[in-house]
Amino acid sequence: MYRRVAATTIACLIALPVFAESIEDEALAWLQDFIRIDTINPPGNETRAVEFIGNILDKEGIDYQTAESAPGRGNLWARLAGGDEPALILLQHTDVVPADPAYWTTDPLSGEIKDGYVWGRGALDMKGTGISQLATFVSLHRAGIALNRDVILVATADEEAGGFFGAGWLIENHPEIFEGAGLLINEGGGGTDTDKGRVFSVEVTQKVPVWLRLTAVDKPGHGSMPNATSSVTRIVDALSIIKANPSPPHIVPAVDAMFQSLARNAAPEWADAYANMPAAIKAPGFMSKLQEHSAFLHALTRDTCSITRFEASNKINVVPPEAWAEIDCRILPDRPSDVFVDEMRELIKATGVEISVIMAFTPAVSSTNTPLYRAIESVTAERHPGSTVMPSVESGFTDSHFTRDLGIASYGFDPIVVEEQEWSRIHGNDERVSVDAFKRGVSDHLAIIRAVVYE
């Protein structure tokens, strides 16, 4: 049974700034506590996060539901009921990647405030964004003003390992959560200051992960008497062919739009190229120069494969009967993954190596012509004069690919403004978020969602 938000007179809007101001300090304390909860994946233990969020919702009198996809792999969802417009989902994942304390300035799970920053694993990816969503959700409930649509808070497990115990599992086992939803905000974009102004990027699509396992079987033997071929040499030959034959660069529309937006604030040496990337990628030496400048931007111009795992014999003098390798391929969202896999099989066919698919998602792009995207544009323009908003493409992946498959317009965005060098701390050492930037982001996030649900 979901709790319905009581309608009040429009005069209650006057109270909103009070909630917005107080919620910022509450959110900061929540974030510190949230970071201290160990949800490192593996193993995840996201039920701990569900209990933390549930305790806050209990104090607010907000009903919610939970479900474990496996022991300890908790998921939570709550709904503020509103009008007949397509529902808006606030989607977050509660798991984080591992962190080695030996390489951190602070304890990775401390949530300590130091030098004006909150330090800890998840501060940026994505417990900080998750708390901004929770603060928005709680603020809407406290205001008690009739909404034009349902607003649904969804906190999931396992995104850092593919989402199959989280968002993917919920879609399969609790599809009612997503029925009637038309808009969704998740991780994947934010604000950065450049030499020419503040830029907010909104993720509208992402490269499609295609994780492949290469397996070779051949005659085993003694290391002192090598045969003409072996499982190991076959794998080495296949990997060498893949490395020597990168996919040709090509620019898909979403990437073209992103580069054209970047051109407005780019350094002179890059501005002209970004403004016309279909032509720039054909210039001799440009692709190497771009990769040296930014591996991220380079990755958006072609399908890529990274060789990440390789295993053969467990003894130096034994040629094994089987060897395998795994490669992390990411393809642009302009064709089905099975077409790419067929091309890879053809490329290495002569080596006798077999390819199996570990994981492959489907491509999808969200339109920028929606109330949520327009609210992001209007609110950031008002609160950050002179800033620009651009659609962006994520080289990695988020749980938004699951919801785009459902036809839900899904955006990766948190209005927090983060210094460019801070983004590199995500999945790295000393992850942290500025206290001032976080608190302002909480307020901006609420303003964006308010613009959608009260329009």
| pLDDT at site 455 | 74
Task: Give yes or no for a contact between 23 and 446, defined as CB atoms under 8 angstroms apart.
Answer: yes
CA distances from 55 to 48, 68, 72, 137, 430 (A): 11, 17, 17, 14, 28
Judgement on whether residues 147 and 229 belong to the same structural domain of the protein? no
Q: Residue 315 region, left (φ>0) first, then alpha (ψ -120 to 50), else beta?
A: beta
Q: How high is the pLDDT of residue 7?
A: 35
Could you tell me if 112 and 228 lie in one domain? no
Cβ-count burial 276-288 (b if 16+ within 10 Å, e if not): ebeebbeeeebbe
Do 411 and 254 meet the contact criterion of CB atoms below 8 Å apart? no
Residue 201 lies in a domain: no
CATH number for 147: 3.40.630.10
Angle at 114 (CA atoms; ends 112, 118), nearest 5 degrees: 55
Quote the pLDDT of residue 194: 86
Q: How does strand 409-412 pair with strand 181-186? A: parallel
pLDDT of residue 6: 35
Please tell me whether residues 16 and 109 are part of one structural domain.
yes
Distance CA 232, CA 219 (A): 10
Same domain, 134 and 250: no
Amino acid 155 reads: A
DSSP string, 6-61: PP--GGGGGGHHHHHHHHHHHHHHHHHHHHHS--BTTT--THHHHHHHHHHHHHHT
Q: Which residue has the tokens 């964006």?
A: 448
Q: Is residue 219 domain-shared with residue 126, that is, in the same domain?
A: no
Which structure tokens are listed for 334? 């302009």
What is the reported pLDDT for 11? 35
* Domain boundaries, position 171: 10-188+398-453
pLDDT of residue 3: 34
5 domain-assigned: no
Give yes or no: residues 252 and 172 share one domain: no
Boundary of a domain, candidates 330, 360, 390: 360
Is residue 199 a part of any domain in this protein?
Answer: no
Alpha-carbon span 305 to 358, nearest angstrom: 14
Residues 404, 291 share a domain = no
Residues 179 and 38 in one domain: yes
- The DSSP bridge partners found for residue 181 are 87
Give pLDDT tens digits along the chain (455 positions): 333 333 333 333 334 444 434 899 999 999 999 999 999 999 999 999 999 999 999 999 999 999 999 999 999 999 999 999 999 999 999 999 999 999 999 999 999 999 999 999 999 999 999 999 999 999 999 999 999 999 999 999 999 999 999 999 999 999 999 999 999 999 999 999 988 899 999 999 999 999 999 999 999 999 999 999 999 999 999 999 999 999 999 999 999 999 999 999 899 999 999 999 999 999 999 999 999 999 999 999 999 999 999 999 999 999 999 999 999 999 999 999 999 999 999 999 999 999 999 999 999 999 999 999 999 999 999 999 999 999 999 998 999 999 999 999 999 999 999 998 999 899 999 999 999 999 999 999 999 999 999 97
d(CA 318, CA 329): 31
Domain identity same for 175 and 78: yes
Residue 276 belongs to a domain: yes
Let me know whether 305 and 411 are in one domain.
Answer: no
Total tally of structural domains belonging to the chain: 2
pLDDT, residue 441, reads: 98
Q: Coil, strand, or helix at residue 326?
A: strand
Question: How many C-beta atoms surround the C-beta of residue 194 within 10 A?
Answer: 14
**Residue 307 covered by a domain:** yes
CATH value at residue 282: 3.30.70.360
In a domain, residue 377? The reply is no
Which of 340, 360, 380 delimits the end of a domain?
A: 360
